[in-house]
Amino acid sequence: MNNKLPEKLLELRKHYHYSQKSIAEKLGIDLMEYMSYENGAAVPSYALLKKIARVYRITVLELFSNETQIVLRAVKAVADVPLKDRVRMFIKRYRYYLLAGIFVLAAALFMLLKPEKPEKIYVLPEVLPRETLSVSETTVARLSKEGKLIGSGDNSNGQLDLEESGLIKVAEGATFTVALKNDGTLVSAGLLEKVADDISDWKDIVAVATGSGHVLGLRNDGEVFCAGDNTYGQCSYEEHRNMKRIFALPQGSVLVREDGTVFTTGDFVGSSQLRKQRNLLDVRASEDNLVYLKDNGTVGYFARRKDFDAVLQWKDITAVACGNDFIAGLTVGGNVKIVIDNYILENEVNNWNNITAIAAGNDYLVAVDEEGNLYGIGRNVYHQFDDSSLMHNSLPQVRNVKVEIGQEYVIISFDPVTNASGYLVTIDVGIGYSSRVDEPYLVISKDNFEEGRTYLLHITALGEGEYEDSDVLSLDFLYQRESAPQPVTPTPAPTADVKEVPFSLDGLTGKTVNNFLAYLRGLGMREDQLSGSESENICSGSEPVVETVSGISDYELITMSELSQRQVNYTYCKVPEPEPTPEPTPEPTATTEPSGEEGENGE
């Protein structure tokens, strides 16, 4: 018959959580002897069986008889379990709870005893002179040596009412001003309340830049923040950390990473060319041109219609600026260079000396010298600077302005002005709107307006040649879609269901494909209505430009239902393939002797 004693010894010891050593000690025998009983190598004496039975509170018969079943009692019934075994039993049963408690206790001790992090100290950033002067199409903002704002030009939106002190950098939007204080915070005037609240929360800012309607801020750890208008994706950038410079263009943003590479977003001319550059120090743009300053003091540019190749020869430049008809650069010696098709204005700029900063709108250039004096040339519609131009024949003021509020659009129309080259329309839509149009009307989406709000409108007839700009006509109107056209004038206006193409086809064919499509989408056209094809003509620049347009006519009045049925076809030029990089000439091997016609260096 098979001996079941070893099995019973093992079962009992495991049930009561004894170790082999502790049982051997209780029995007064050697560990190896006990192990021989438990593994069946030997059989204990009757006297030892009685001791074992006493330990487990059972009879010898239960222990030794194969036919008798052992009754296992609850562990707590074994009163003489050693303390160390009880501890081991407790740890085994509650080990997970004990581990969790130890972790919580260690975390608490770490938080209690960890050294306090030293308070972060804001260090004033380097302030470049160009960061203390900024302009919009209607205003000039600059900082005094005492850190106060000095503003001139249009202040209809309160953009120049910034009474703060301790300002070190300033940036001007279409109808607002943002300035960086010496404590790393931003203050503003003229911004929508929500945007102003957003930027007021930014801390440790070292640089600020503004487009027409958006604000960029660079923190001292290299993170970039953006708030405001994002119609063209100017605030939609994939990366926002590890940046060292920021630039804001009217509808775009340019970020320079720590490694010198350039990231662009938004809508502006020359963006693809800009991304190929490195370590840019300054970037400026107008509606038609883009100019950038390289870290070696030279200048690059992209122009939609004009040739500015003379700027490529400039050296030792510290700042750049551009308008629709000119590009300017400031030299290390404080002189201003300019490329412009107007020798009178060019001579005037060449006479400026000791200049520390320059800035430009689409149609004017300003500069500040070491003494804080302001210089300016160009269209001085809002008296942004002391007018030193030689044009004296002012155009008459715009008349018979009508604002029609439809279900989808606001249409602003007025009488044409003889000899006007165009019209500047400024309105405090959202966070600012300023546009130059060729014809006496403008169509704006209702999405830019708030029901029941009063808006201030400014219109100027723009002169050219011997004619100076007209005085500004200002009026306000209440945006209410159920209201009648206002102000009431005899001039008829288009109906609410009419969409007017405000560009000639000749003007459309001068646009890049991206801007052309953005314009037509803004009119409400769908993607399936737009079809383009590449021509055999090679583009003169790095972006495809529209060459022909069919499906719409010059200044055509189109109802919304008609517009939804139109198919617009266009062609665009072919971007030239980059020239292949010539393969390097292999160096001669150790066994190759240079030809007798080559020099000592093999050249």
- Domains of the chain: total: 5
Report the sign of the C-alpha dihedral through residues 212, 213, 219, 225, in that order: negative
- What pLDDT score was predicted for residue 58? 87
Residues 307 and 408 reside in one and the same domain: no
Is residue 594 included in any domain, yes or no?
Answer: no
Residues 372 and 463 reside in one and the same domain: no
For residue range 226-283, list pLDDT tens digits in order: 999 998 888 987 778 889 999 999 999 999 999 999 999 988 888 888 989 999 999 9
- What pLDDT score was predicted for residue 515? 73
Spell out the residues 6+ positions from residue 592 whose beta carbon is closer than 8 angstroms to its own: none
Residues 503 and 570 reside in one and the same domain: yes
Q: Please identify, among 352, 370, 390, the residue that sits at the C-terminal boundary of a domain.
A: 390
C-alpha distances in Å from residue 485, one per residue of 348, 358, 446: 46, 43, 15
C-alpha distances in Å from residue 168, one per residue of 81, 141, 403, 524: 79, 12, 41, 43
| Terminal-to-terminal C-alpha distance of the chain | 104
Residues 218 and 154 reside in one and the same domain: yes
- Can you give the CATH number for the domain in which 71 is found? 1.10.260.40
Is residue 202 included in any domain, yes or no?
Answer: yes
- What pLDDT score was predicted for residue 313? 93
Residues 158 and 235 reside in one and the same domain: yes
Identify the weakest region by mean pLDDT among 96-100, 161-165, 493-497: 493-497
The whole-angstrom separation of Cα 468 and Cα 366 is 18
The set of long-range contacts for 138-141, using a CB threshold of 8 Å and a minimum separation of 24, is: 138/175, 138/381, 138/382, 138/384, 138/426, 138/434, 138/458, 139/172, 139/177, 139/382, 139/384, 140/172, 140/359, 140/366, 140/374, 140/376, 140/384, 140/385, 141/170, 141/172, 141/177
Residues 514 and 378 reside in one and the same domain: no
- What pLDDT score was predicted for residue 57? 86
Residue 358 has pLDDT above 90, yes or no: yes
The whole-angstrom separation of Cα 231 and Cα 430 is 12
For residue range 327-348, list pLDDT tens digits in order: 999 999 999 999 998 877 888 8
Is residue 599 included in any domain, yes or no?
Answer: no
For residue range 300-324, list pLDDT tens digits in order: 999 988 889 999 999 999 999 999 8
Is residue 585 included in any domain, yes or no?
Answer: no
Residue whose structure tokens are 């020798």: 343
CA atoms within 13 A on the CB side of 263: 20
Residue 351 has pLDDT above 50, yes or no: yes
Residues 132 and 263 reside in one and the same domain: yes
Residues 222 and 292 reside in one and the same domain: no
SS3 content of the chain, % helix, strand, coil (to 5): 20, 30, 50
For residue range 49-60, list pLDDT tens digits in order: 888 888 888 888
The whole-angstrom separation of Cα 366 and Cα 372 is 12
- What pLDDT score was predicted for residue 586? 56
- What pLDDT score was predicted for residue 592? 39
- Can you give the CATH number for the domain in which 456 is found? 2.60.40.10
Residues 435 and 488 reside in one and the same domain: yes
| Mean per-residue pLDDT, 75-98 | 65
User: In which domain, by residue range, is 380 found?
Assistant: 279-390
Spell out the residues 6+ positions from residue 222 whose beta carbon is closer than 8 angstroms to its own: 241, 242, 243, 244, 258
Task: Give the pLDDT band of residue 206 (cuts 50, 70, 90).
Answer: very high
Residues 225 and 304 reside in one and the same domain: no
Is residue 550 included in any domain, yes or no?
Answer: yes
- Can you give the CATH number for the domain in which 250 is found? 2.130.10.30
Residues 13 and 56 reside in one and the same domain: yes
Q: How far does Cα 156 stand from its chain's mean position?
A: 29
Read off the pTM.
Answer: 0.53
Q: Please identify, among 335, 361, 390, the residue that sits at the C-terminal boundary of a domain.
A: 390
Q: Please identify, among 225, 244, 268, the residue that sits at the C-terminal boundary of a domain.
A: 268
Residue 4 has pLDDT above 80, yes or no: yes
| Mean per-residue pLDDT, 134-151 | 92
Mean pLDDT of the chain: 82
Is residue 87 included in any domain, yes or no?
Answer: no
Is residue 86 included in any domain, yes or no?
Answer: no
Is residue 10 included in any domain, yes or no?
Answer: yes
Residues 300 and 356 reside in one and the same domain: yes
